[in-house]
Amino acid sequence: MRKKKAFYLVFAALLASGSVLAGCSQNAKTNTANTANTANTTNSGNGGTEGGSSFSYLMHDKFINWLKEDKWYPYVEKATGTTVEFVPGGSNDDEYYASVDQKIISGTFPDSGIVSASQATVYGAQGAFVDLAPYIDKFGPNIKSYIEKNPTYKTMITDKEGHIYGLVAEAPRFADFIFYRADHFEKAGITKAPQTIDELTDAMRKLKAYYGKDNKNYYPMVGREHYFRFQSAFNAAANFDDGISKGIYANGKTGTDLYSDGYKKMVEWYKTLYSEGLIDPEWVAGSGTEESWESKMLTGQGSISYDHLTRPSWFMDNGGPENDPDYNIAILPYLKDLNGKPSVQTTETQYNTLRAMVVNKDSKDKAETIIKFLDYLYSDKGQTLVSWGVEGESYKVEGGNKQYIVDFSEQEATPAGEPRWSFLNDRLTFVKPVDNDAFYSWNTELVRNAAHELFTDENLKTGVTVTYTADQAKQLADLSAKVNEAVTSLVTEFVNGKRPMSEWNTFLGEMEKAGYKKVVALQQEAYDAMYK
């Protein structure tokens, strides 16, 4: 949240200075020339497309580095007859989006680049970016078809006058996994996978009794970052249900409804885990690191985690079996909620509003080339290439279905800087649709099978995409940072026993003073403006 807050403060300050875009871009080609060496080193080894088209493209440094390693990318340049000159814009989001503002103001923004949806809207209206709508109509039949088939997307990228200043990247549909040491469960006498919170708690008690009797540093549940991860199982999640804002939504994922009965029950549950030594106290205190969590899961100091979908395989591939020959990770089906129904996991929004591709107004002559290039990525051939690669080299067709013939673990273990087949389409390359089946399939057998089994319409609910005005974004960043910090610190006092549960209503009053209801109201205002 601090990163997002810092970005919005910088962005809002620039907007407050008035229209800063007079003569906004001197010449995109100047910037291209200055980055020619960088661009040449990122051309995926196909020697360019002599006699073809080209354009420069601003994106995060890390995404450029990853894209230049992808073996499928040279085929894209060959198929489109286009060479893309990559321009690095910074490493993290704070740095990157500040550099976007600076490049627009100084007139050094390249032919095209990644900006936030808010930047695309505001700067586009001021004349900084090309209106892509007529170019899509004329040169982007596949993009046009996609827009018409996805009305939410159309609403998000099109202003009231029909202008489209930026195309936003689609994100894969997935949720985090609950995973566990299956060998620990077996040795502790747990013969059935838990299906409810009560069954999970009983399993943790058995694990603690078995592994904790001789190891005071053992805690059944370990993790990283914030430890509150079971909102859906407690019916405490909120995601604009029935069009109503009920919680604070972070990064498009599920919000938490502090006023739900389930939220208080969840806090009481975590309090029980803490008092019985079933959850890592370092994690609860916020003093644990990603490295310490990994070490605990690898060395038997913990048995259960709730984290990113690739993490179960990571532990199997990064020392688990070497530390213990019996080491075995399994993935737990999502728990039932308090009503005995399958809990529903809210995913990221379908579209990442921090990833909008725009075209510089002073590079209007490149707009046709850029739209034609992107349109290929929206075509069936382009989608196959970026999602599966090349038939006979990276995949085969069997029984009418595509199957990878290259090994995920081997390819992703390729040393940095060397070419590899990689289809991690949660990473930014260009704005394009996502083939979720391919995304799930590009993984180890453990994760691949679990993804296809668990990532169903019954289990997943896509986060609602909401865009905010610059003023709303600034208010939301300020208030959310304050409220989230207060929630984390004050709820942890209930969990670790420093504060009695009898003060729960007092806590809710403190959240109102911190701005919780103001955040909910701002979110509702933005939602209504977009969907009503």
Residue 484 pLDDT exceeds 90: no
User: In the chain, what are the domains?
Assistant: 2-172+350-379 (3.40.190.10), 177-347+465-531 (3.40.190.10)
28 vs 107, which has greater pLDDT? 107
Residue 38 pLDDT exceeds 70: no
Q: Over range 46-59, report the average pLDDT.
A: 74
CA distance 334 to 195: 7
CA distance 440 to 451: 6
Could you tell me which of 168, 214, 213, 197 has the C-alpha nearest to residue 353? 168
In the chain, what percentage of residues exceed pLDDT 70? 89
Tens-digit pLDDT profile for residues 381-395: 999 999 999 999 999
CA distance 126 to 24: 10
Q: How far is CA 478 from CA 139, 425, 514, in A?
A: 42, 31, 11
Model pLDDT, residue 253: 55
Tens-digit pLDDT profile for residues 197-253: 999 999 999 999 999 999 999 999 999 988 999 999 999 988 888 889 988 876 545
Reported confidence tier of residue 328, pLDDT bands at 50, 70, 90:
very high
Q: What is the dihedral of CA 183, 184, 187, 189, to 10 degrees?
A: -110
Could you tell me which of 68, 64, 124, 61 has the C-alpha nearest to residue 95? 61
Tokens of 51: 């006699």
Model pLDDT, residue 51: 55
CA distance 166 to 136: 11
DSSP designation for 360: B
Model pLDDT, residue 28: 37
Strand partners, 84: 55
Residue 8 pLDDT exceeds 80: no
Surface-to-core class of residue 251, CB atoms within 10 Å of its CB (0-12 exposed, 13-18 middle, 19+ buried): exposed
Number of H helices, E strands in the chain: 25, 15
Tens-digit pLDDT profile for residues 504-527: 999 999 999 999 999 999 999 999
Model pLDDT, residue 247: 84
Q: Over range 67-78, report the average pLDDT.
A: 97
Q: How far is CA 306 from CA 78, 192, 193, 420, 497, in A?
A: 42, 19, 15, 29, 23
Model pLDDT, residue 250: 61
Model pLDDT, residue 231: 93
Surface-to-core class of residue 13, CB atoms within 10 Å of its CB (0-12 exposed, 13-18 middle, 19+ buried): exposed
Helices (H), 219-310: 261-275, 281-285, 290-298
Cβ neighbour number for residue 189 with a 10 Å cutoff? 11
Tens-digit pLDDT profile for residues 168-190: 999 999 999 999 999 999 999 99
In contact, 430 and 150? CB cutoff 8 Å: no
Cβ neighbour number for residue 500 with a 10 Å cutoff? 9
CA distance 327 to 216: 21
Highest mean pLDDT (candidates 24-28, 419-423, 457-461, 476-480): 419-423
CA distance 431 to 352: 10
Look at residue 225 and give its three-state secondary structure.
coil
Angle at the Cα of 290 (from 248 to 64), degrees rounded to 5?
A: 80
In the chain, what percentage of residues exceed pLDDT 90? 76
Surface-to-core class of residue 28, CB atoms within 10 Å of its CB (0-12 exposed, 13-18 middle, 19+ buried): buried
Sheet hosting strand 237-238, strand order edge to edge: 237-238, 255-256, 248-249
* Overall residue count recorded for the chain in this entry: 532
Long-range CB pairs of 203-207, under 8 A, 24+ apart, other chains included: 204/273, 204/278, 204/304, 205/276, 205/278, 207/303, 207/304
Could you tell me which of 271, 319, 269 has the C-alpha nearest to residue 296? 319
Could you tell me which of 176, 168, 173 has the C-alpha nearest to residue 434? 173
Cβ neighbour number for residue 131 with a 10 Å cutoff? 19
| 162 backbone dihedrals φ, ψ, rounded to 5° | 90, 5
Tens-digit pLDDT profile for residues 424-452: 999 999 999 999 999 999 999 999 999 99
Strand partners, 345: 460
Average pLDDT, the chain: 89
Model pLDDT, residue 255: 77
CA distance 127 to 196: 55
